[in-house]
């Protein structure tokens, strides 16, 4: 969906480096989410945000940091990348009515070597 | 905490046949939403169908329909007249409560045989 953009699409980084994954949405959705997808685990929530400057932990937040200074941006930072953080990362947004649905980015495949 | 369980890691179906993917969930909420997402090899998450819990009528979208059993907390997806393009990973997902988080099952990989 053209309304939510993730970058980069692919990233290879070394253990211990800081990495930031970008997410930008044009819908002005209040809610934004970061998920990681791993084989056998489905998609697991890392962090979410209900509005600018409001963020909260999801199921697997350790090792990740988020910020949301503007409604449209929700970057995800791996402070010191580990091999266990090799995954596909999805950003999503929602207007917040549940039935309003969720818009997903195309995902970032991150490999930590 | 809400949980979503997909008990079939893999399923296969013959082209033009019907297949049903299973999903159960656990929640204490009375108002919530359920979704089926399709993820082809492109990895794009595509909404297939959604159901509002307070609606008793099962949702239908063309060849896709659900069997929503609220008391049993079951939400299965039926794909009729299966096509090769239906081959993908399918995720069942739940959203309820005030934070609108989507909770996903682990997925079912559907193969369509010609």
Q: What pLDDT is attached to residue A53?
A: 92
For residue range B20-44, list pLDDT tens digits in order: 999 999 998 888 999 999 999 999 9
Instruction: Measure the CA angle with vertex A49, ends A72 and A43; round to 5°.
Output: 105
With b for 16 or more beta-carbon neighbours within 10 A and e for fewer, the A33-45 pattern comes to: bbbbbeeeebbbb
- For residue B7, the chain A residue with the least C-alpha distance is A40
Q: Is the pLDDT of residue A97 over 70?
A: no
How confident is the model over A96-111, as a mean pLDDT?
Answer: 85
- Hey, are the CB atoms on A31 and B52 less than 8 Å from each other? no
**Cα distance from B98 to chain A (closest Cα, Å)?**
9
Lowest mean pLDDT among A1-10, A59-68, B80-89: A1-10
Q: What pLDDT is attached to residue A40?
A: 85
How confident is the model over A73-82, as a mean pLDDT?
Answer: 97
Q: Is the pLDDT of residue A69 over 60?
A: yes
How confident is the model over B71-78, as a mean pLDDT?
Answer: 96
Q: Which of residues 78-107 of B touch A (CB under 8 A)?
A: 91, 95-96, 99-107
With the C-alpha atoms ordered B78, A88, A100, B68, is the resulting torsion angle positive or negative? positive
Residues of chain B in contact with residue A88, where contact means CB-CB under 8 angstroms, are 43
- Hey, are the CB atoms on A98 and B33 less than 8 Å from each other? yes
Q: What pLDDT is attached to residue A1?
A: 46
Q: Which residue did the predictor score with more confidence, A101 or B79?
A: B79
Q: Is the pLDDT of residue A34 over 60?
A: yes
pLDDT confidence bin for A98, thresholds 50/70/90? low
Q: Is the pLDDT of residue B88 over 50?
A: yes
Q: In this complex, how many residue pairs, one in chain A and one in chain B, have their CB atoms less than 8 Å apart? A: 53
Q: Is the pLDDT of residue B112 over 50?
A: yes
Q: Is the pLDDT of residue B19 over 90?
A: yes
d(CA B70, CA A41): 25
d(CA B81, CA B72): 27
Q: What are phi and psi of B26, to 5 degrees?
A: -130, 130
pLDDT confidence bin for A100, thresholds 50/70/90? low
* B43, B48, B51, B94, best to mutate vs chain A, most A CBs in 10 Å: B43
**Cα distance from A71 to chain B (closest Cα, Å)?**
16
d(CA A69, CA A73): 7
* A42, A54, A95, best to mutate vs chain B, most B CBs in 10 Å: A42
């Amino acid at each position: 969906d053209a309304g939510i953009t993730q970058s980069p699409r692919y990233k290879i980084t070394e253990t211990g480096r800081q990495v930031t994954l970008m997410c930008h949405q044009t819908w002005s959705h209040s809610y934004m989410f970061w998920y990681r997808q791993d084989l056998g685990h489905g998609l697991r929530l890392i962090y979410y945000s209900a509005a600018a400057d409001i963020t909260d932990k999801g199921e697997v937040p350790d090792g990740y940091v988020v910020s949301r200074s503007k409604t449209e941006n929700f970057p995800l930072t791996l402070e010191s990348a580990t091999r266990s953080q090799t995954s596909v990362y999805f950003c999503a947004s929602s207007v917040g009515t549940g039935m309003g649905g969720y818009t997903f980015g195309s995902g970032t495949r991150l490999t930590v070597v | 905490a809400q949980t979503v369980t997909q008990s079939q890691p893999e399923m296969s179906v013959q082209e033009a046949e019907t297949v049903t993917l299973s999903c159960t969930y656990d929640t204490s909420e009375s108002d919530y939403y359920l979704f089926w997402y399709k993820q082809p090899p492109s990895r794009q998450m595509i909404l297939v169908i959604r159901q509002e819990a307070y609606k008793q009528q099962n949702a239908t979208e063309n060849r896709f329909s659900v069997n929503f059993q609220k008391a049993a907390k079951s939400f299965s997806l039926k794909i009729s007249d299966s096509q090769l393009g239906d081959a993908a990973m399918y995720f069942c997902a739940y959203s309820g409560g005030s934070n609108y988080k989507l909770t996903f099952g682990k997925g079912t990989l559907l193969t369509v045989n010609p």
